[in-house]
């Protein structure tokens, strides 16, 4: 009895406060987005805003329950959680119902459950379990491969649904691996890969008038530049690298060149293979002129809704773009448009700051742990929340491609809200036990 009281006292109330604030703000915006033109019927439990309130209450209960479960339970059952979730991800591919072209949902009458939302905390738990065993730093190849498998299996299964957004979120666990010892070169390589991808898409859409062979895709020019760059670097190796490292640097150079060429070619041809509407979404993002005026419909309307908010917004329940259905998926993936339109620059910036503070708070929580498990798990939480924040807001602001992914605690939807509640409150329970953990 005394012990549980001490846990209650050690709960990180700041995080609880931020999460609760986000849920309430999210609910207000969902209410506005669902109400449309009619006055909000606050007691209509059948509407999305009513359902969302029920989900918030359910999550409140869930949070209390989680906070009363021994942290040891999550550590011991992490494999079980993971296996159950992988099985669910496999099952949903077979018997899931198709919504918007993706088989991501289990339908139970009027309720739908999205298993991938629960797979995220499960993956974070198992990763924490793996990396906290003994001296389980990412020093040996075996642990690295195991880690990548833990992340890769649910990532691959969600890609099959297909739900590219969730796949990317699993990919975000690379930040956790980085903190646990993965070479920073991987992050740099990832960044370079991103640059090459963007360059391939941009040059792939343009043409250049080459000597002798005439008008051809500009991607050839990109390849030429890559090759020339590597050749020049190859020649410079004796001058800038100490002799014992030269061999390794030479190998790295040509492997990088081959990888870059493969990536570039893959991106270029891959984009050509994509269904037209997806290809146009990507091209629109990079400012490539697409002949189809509907291609950037979503993002154009999202930007218009946010832009029309101005400094202080149109006011709660007063945004015409929100009220009259101009923004697609406006109570779920595009909920930030409602924030932008009705609360303006000031309100939107507050939400950005709220997310930033939450992420930094969890980072701080992570670094104050004596338990390796809790630290790794906390980084998992940071990675997952950050990816959602990054992709969702980036998409709505027209900085990232349109990838459907909810904004944590804001977007309407029971599965995602419960998934994020699990994610954060398991961490808070583990954190509350930090003083009692023996190293």
Name the site residues for another protein (rule: CB under 8 A).
Answer: 36-37, 175, 178-181, 183-185, 187-188, 236, 239-241, 300-301, 303-311, 320-321, 323-326, 340-341, 344-345, 348-349, 352-353, 355-356, 359-360, 363, 366-367, 379, 382, 386, 389-390, 393-394, 397-399
CB of 22 to another protein, least distance (A): 15
Smallest gap from residue 321 Cβ to another protein (A): 6
User: Sign (positive/negative) of CA torsion 357, 336, 194, 300?
Assistant: negative
Distances (CA, A) of 187 to 182, 190, 198: 9, 5, 17
Spell out where 22-154 has E strands. Answer: 97-99, 102-108, 111-113
Rounded Cα gap, residues 299 and 273, in angstroms: 23
Secondary structure (DSSP) of 370-381: S-HHHHHHHHHH
CB atoms within 10 A of CB 273: 9
Q: How far is the CB of 202 from another protein (least distance, A)?
A: 19
- We find the least distance from the C-beta atom of residue 278 to another protein, in angstroms, to be 23
Q: Which is nearer to another protein, 338 or 348 (CB)?
A: 348
- Cα 69 to Cα 79: distance, rounded to the nearest angstrom: 17
Please state at what angle helix 335-367 crosses helix 297-307, rounded to 10 degrees.
80
Query: What does the DSSP 8-state code read for residue 404?
Result: -
Please give the Cα distance from 154 to 81 (Å, whole number).
Answer: 12
Q: Which is nearer to another protein, 36 or 220 (CB)?
A: 36
Looking at the Cβ atoms of 223 and 297, the one nearer to another protein is 297
User: Per 3-state DSSP, what percentage of the chain is helix, strand, and coil (rounded to 5)?
Assistant: 70, 5, 25
Nearest distance in Å: CB 180, another protein: 7
Tell the smallest beta-carbon distance from residue 360 to another protein (Å): 6
The length of the chain, given as a count of residues: 439
Alpha carbon distance 134, 167 (integer Å): 29
The distance of closest approach from Cβ of residue 307 to another protein in the complex, given in angstroms and rounded to an integer, is: 2
């Amino acid at each position: 009895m005394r012990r549980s009281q001490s846990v209650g006292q050690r709960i990180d109330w700041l995080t609880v406060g931020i999460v609760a604030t986000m849920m309430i703000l999210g609910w207000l915006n969902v209410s506005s987005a669902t109400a449309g033109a009619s006055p909000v019927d606050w007691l209509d439990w059948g509407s999305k805003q009513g359902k969302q309130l029920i989900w918030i209450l359910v999550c409140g209960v869930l949070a209390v329950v989680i906070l009363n479960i021994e942290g040891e339970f999550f550590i011991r059952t992490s494999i079980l959680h993971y296996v159950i979730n992988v099985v669910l991800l496999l099952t949903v591919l077979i018997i899931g119902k198709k919504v918007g072209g993706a088989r991501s949902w289990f339908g139970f009458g009027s309720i739908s459950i999205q298993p991938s939302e629960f797979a995220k905390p499960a993956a974070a738990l198992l990763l924490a379990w793996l990396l906290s065993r003994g001296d389980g730093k990412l020093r040996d190849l075996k642990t690295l491969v195991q880690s990548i498998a833990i992340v890769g299996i649910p990532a691959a299964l969600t890609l099959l649904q297909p739900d590219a957004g969730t796949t990317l979120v699993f990919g975000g666990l690379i930040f956790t691996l980085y903190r646990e010892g993965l070479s920073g070169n991987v992050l740099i390589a990832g960044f370079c890969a991103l640059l090459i991808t963007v360059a391939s898409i941009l040059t792939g859409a343009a043409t250049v008038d080459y000597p002798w062979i005439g008008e051809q895709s500009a991607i050839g020019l990109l390849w030429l530049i890559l090759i020339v760059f590597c050749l020049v670097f190859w020649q410079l190796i004796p001058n800038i690298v100490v002799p014992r490292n030269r061999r390794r640097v030479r190998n790295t150079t040509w492997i990088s060149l081959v990888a870059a060429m493969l990536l570039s070619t893959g991106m270029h041809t891959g984009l050509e293979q994509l269904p037209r509407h997806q290809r146009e979404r990507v091209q629109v993002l990079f400012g490539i002129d697409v002949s189809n005026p509907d291609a950037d419909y979503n993002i154009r309307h999202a930007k218009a809704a946010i832009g029309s908010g101005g400094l202080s917004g149109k006011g709660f329940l007063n945004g015409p773009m929100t009220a009259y259905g101009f923004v697609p998926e406006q109570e779920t993936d595009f909920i930030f448009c409602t924030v932008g339109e009705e609360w303006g620059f000031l309100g939107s910036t507050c939400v950005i700051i709220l997310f930033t503070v939450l992420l930094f708070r969890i980072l701080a929580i992570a670094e104050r742990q004596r338990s390796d498990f809790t630290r790794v798990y906390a980084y998992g939480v940071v990675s997952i929340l950050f990816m959602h924040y990054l992709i969702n807001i980036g998409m709505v602001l027209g900085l990232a491609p349109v990838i459907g992914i909810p904004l944590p605690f804001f977007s309407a939807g029971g599965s995602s809200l419960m998934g994020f509640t699990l994610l954060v409150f398991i961490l808070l329970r583990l954190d509350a036990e930090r003083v009692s953990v023996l190293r």
